[in-house]
Amino acid sequence: MGNGQSKRIAVDMDEVLADTLTQFLSEYNREFGENITKADLVARKLVEIVPADRRARLRHYALSPGFFRDIPLMPGSRDVFSELRERYEVFIATAAMEFPSSFNEKYAWIKAHFPDFPDSHIVFCGDKSVIAAHFLIDDSPRHFARFAGQGFLFTAPHNRAENRYPRLNNWADVRRQFLNGE
């Protein structure tokens, strides 16, 4: 793996670099006049809060033009991501297959927020076990099952009960894990 000089880190886009949940909540709250926040998701999952007859709208947002292009950055991600790139070979690995129409917008999002990030290090995939990296930072534990390297779970409301993998709660934790002791 890697070029023999530096280790590789694959970083997920949605809910790790991109604050996708905030985008979903913004769209939902705007449409239905609600005020659901991330704090509301500490005790309950979004599907437990959103009435059953509105849940299909959540998927619809991700299929709507502009949804992925306009997602805000995760707090602290820009600086730490830049620092990681100085010490590691970094890839952005996003499972875009669930929403195939998202390819162009996800690419545009990456270029808008990280304009000098090389195209050769952007990976659109379904199964992240194909990524030859030492580390994978992801909010979805399903990606670690067949991943050959070490997975690090990036905290999100939907993974709060998961305890099989080392956890990174935010980008300050990413900095401590990968940059402070190296």
Same domain for 129 and 81, yes or no, is: yes
Q: Which residue has the higher pLDDT, 89 or 43?
A: 89
Count of Cβ atoms closer than 10 Å to residue 130 Cβ = 12
* Token couple for 53: 């007859």
CATH code: domain of residue 93: 3.40.50.1000
Same domain for 105 and 161, yes or no, is: yes
Same domain for 35 and 119, yes or no, is: no
What span, in angstroms and rounded, lies between the C-alpha atoms of 21 and 32?
16
Q: Tell me, what DSSP letter sits at residue 71? A: P
Task: Please list, in sequence order, all residues whose beta carbon lies within 8 angstroms of the beta carbon of residue 21, skipping any fewer than 6 positions away.
Answer: 15, 38, 41, 46, 156, 157
Q: Work out the pLDDT band at 5, boundaries 50, 70, 90.
A: low
Same domain for 94 and 13, yes or no, is: yes
Same domain for 30 and 105, yes or no, is: no
Residue 137 CA: distances (Å) to CA of 37, 67, 72, 130: 24, 23, 18, 15
Same domain for 33 and 93, yes or no, is: no
**Considering its fold, how many domains does the chain have in total?**
2
Count of Cβ atoms closer than 10 Å to residue 7 Cβ = 17
Same domain for 109 and 169, yes or no, is: yes
pLDDT digits (tens, 9 = 90+) for 65-81: 888 888 999 999 999 99
What span, in angstroms and rounded, lies between the C-alpha atoms of 43 and 89?
37
Is residue 1 a part of any domain in this protein?
A: no
Q: Tell me, what DSSP letter sits at residue 136? A: E
Same domain for 168 and 84, yes or no, is: yes
Whether 164 has a pLDDT exceeding 60, the answer reads yes
Same domain for 97 and 166, yes or no, is: yes
The catalytic residue positions are 12, 14
The β-bridge relationship of strands 8-11 and 167-168 is unpaired
Q: What is the pLDDT of residue 33?
A: 96
Same domain for 78 and 153, yes or no, is: yes
Q: Which domain holds residue 152?
A: 8-19+72-180
Whether 3 has a pLDDT exceeding 50, the answer reads no
Same domain for 56 and 77, yes or no, is: no
What span, in angstroms and rounded, lies between the C-alpha atoms of 172 and 81?
11
Same domain for 82 and 158, yes or no, is: yes
Asked if 171 and 76 count as a contact pair (C-beta separation under 8 A), the reply is: yes
pTM for the model: 0.91
39-43, 89-93, 137-141 — which is least confidently predicted? Answer: 39-43
Asked if 123 and 110 count as a contact pair (C-beta separation under 8 A), the reply is: no
